């Protein structure tokens, strides 16, 4: 029974490490991309707020006119 518990604990720790590593990788590259993104200025300040929010949350991957979507 100790062996099963040990294998389970090692497996769960491995999954947690992989999840946190992937999350950190995505967070780092999203922050880097959002800081380098071109700022689209609009005459309406509310439009700029919405575009800023979409860029901050990563929604601009798909939800902007200039998004590169698969064919």
The DSSP output letter for 38 is P
pTM: 0.60
Q: What is the pLDDT of residue 54?
A: 80
Residue 32 CA: distances (Å) to CA of 13, 17, 57: 28, 22, 13
List alpha helices for the chain, DSSP H: 2-36, 45-57
Residue 38's pLDDT is 64
Quote the pLDDT of residue 40. Answer: 66
pLDDT, position 7: 97
The string of pLDDT tens digits covering residues 15-70 is 999 999 999 998 898 888 777 766 667 788 888 888 888 877 778 777 777 777 77
Domains in the chain: boundaries: 1-36, 39-71
């Amino acid at each position: 029974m100790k062996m099963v518990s040990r294998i389970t604990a090692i497996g769960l720790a491995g999954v947690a490490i992989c999840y946190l590593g992937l999350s950190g990788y995505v967070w780092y590259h999203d922050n880097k991309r959002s800081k380098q993104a071109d700022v689209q200025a609009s005459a309406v300040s509310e439009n700029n707020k919405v575009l800023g929010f979409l860029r901050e949350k990563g929604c601009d991957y798909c939800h902007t006119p200039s998004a590169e979507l698969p064919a």
